[in-house]
């Protein structure tokens, strides 16, 4: 018997181009499985100066539709379940303020930090095996800098970087992330998508460090299909992982003001 799971803050929509299902189906699945707080956090549009758009994000032309849909569901479920408007975003120092200015027109409840790339060129996806210590350090820099802005509620899949190089360097840089998260009281996410798709994360090396440092952990469904929201078998994997590394898991998180 797993503990109750009442809040999921990591939920995508079909607008990002790699998720499926209607927004209402995600809400229906969450409510059916006992969720009390459902946060939608699709990949944030990124306003690049040359006008190009990332393939994995909500397109700028669909931003209003995303916001309106989530707010409509919030009204529909207001007496049954709290629905939040969020985004998953990278921290790119050169684009961060432009992104926040773009979002200022919307009632955004929170941001998740998901550092899929280290910089706004978006050339090296961080799940690709890599052994360059400079890339490792850059990843840790961006995650720590992002947390320090105070704009992010928690760090999604903090162990996403697929580093295959020197283990001592990995331990040093991931320790830096964990210690920063502890100091700033920012939770780190045990990501259930990693289990579902057998990705390089959750990474036991990272969570061994996290357990030793004593970070706050949260379980995130990272749902890309309505069936992924609070799936019992998937949740059992997340809770077992937390137990393995001596981590308690938060039922809810304190939302940080993103703008």
Q: Which residue has the tokens 């109750």?
A: 4
Rounded to an integer, the average pLDDT of 45-72 is 94
Q: Which residue has the tokens 């209003």?
A: 64
Could you tell me the two tokens for 35?
A: 């969720």
- Per residue in 61-101, pLDDT (tens digit) is 999 999 999 999 999 999 999 999 999 999 999 999 999 99
With a pLDDT cut of 90, the percent of the chain lying above it is 95
Nearest CA among 24, 15, 12, 26 for reference residue 230: 26
Give the pLDDT score at 95: 96
Query: What torsion do the CA atoms of 169, 175, 181, 187 make, to the nearest 10 degrees?
Result: 100
Rounded to an integer, the average pLDDT of 8-37 is 98
At residue 1 the predicted structure's pLDDT band, cuts being 50, 70 and 90, is very low
CB contact at 8 A, 259 and 104: yes
Is the whole model's pTM more than 0.85, yes or no? yes
Instruction: Render 28-73 in DSSP notation, one character per residue.
Output: HHHHHTT-SEEEEEEEPP---TT----TTS--GGGHHHHHHHHHHH
Rounded to an integer, the average pLDDT of 183-207 is 98
Residue 31 has pLDDT above 70, yes or no: yes
Residue 2 has pLDDT above 70, yes or no: no
Give the pLDDT score at 129: 98
Give the pLDDT score at 137: 98
**SS3 of 127, please?**
coil
- Give me the helices (H) in 121-244, please: 133-148, 167-184, 192-196, 204-213, 232-244
Nearest CA among 19, 67, 26, 13 for reference residue 231: 26
Q: Could you give phi then psi for residue 86, rounded to 5 degrees?
A: -140, 180
- Per residue in 205-245, pLDDT (tens digit) is 999 999 999 999 999 999 999 999 999 999 999 999 999 99
In CATH, which of 2.60.120.260, 3.40.1640.10, 3.20.20.140, 3.30.470.20 is domain 7-244? 3.20.20.140
Give the pLDDT score at 51: 85
């Amino acid at each position: 018997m797993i503990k109750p799971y009442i809040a999921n803050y990591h939920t995508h929509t079909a607008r990002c181009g790699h998720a499926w299902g209607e927004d209402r189906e995600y809400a229906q699945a969450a409510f059916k499985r006992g969720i009390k707080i459902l946060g939608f956090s699709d990949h944030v549009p990124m306003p690049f100066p040359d006008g190009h758009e990332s393939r994995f994000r909500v397109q700028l032309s669909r931003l209003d539709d995303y916001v309106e849909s989530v707010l409509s569901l919030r009204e529909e479920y207001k007496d049954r379940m709290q629905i939040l408007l969020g985004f998953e975003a990278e921290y790119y120092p050169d684009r961060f303020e432009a992104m926040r200015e773009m979002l200022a027109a919307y009632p955004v409840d929170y941001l998740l930090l998901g550092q899929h790339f280290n910089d706004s060129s978006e050339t090296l996806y961080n799940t690709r095996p890599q052994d360059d210590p400079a890339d490792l350090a850059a990843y840790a820099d961006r995650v720590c800098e992002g947390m320090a802005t105070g704009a992010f509620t928690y760090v999604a899949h903090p162990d996403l970087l697929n580093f295959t190089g020197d283990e001592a360097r990995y331990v040093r840089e991931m320790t830096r992330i964990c210690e920063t998260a502890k100091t700033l009281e920012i939770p780190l996410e045990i990501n259930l998508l990693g289990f579902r798709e057998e990705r390089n994360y959750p990474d036991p090396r990272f969570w061994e460090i996290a357990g030793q440092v004593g970070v706050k952990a949260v379980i995130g469904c990272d749902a890309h299909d309505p069936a992924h929201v609070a799936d019992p078998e998937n949740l059992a994997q997340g809770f077992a992982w937390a137990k393995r590394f001596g981590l308690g898991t938060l039922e809810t998180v304190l939302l940080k003001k993103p703008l």
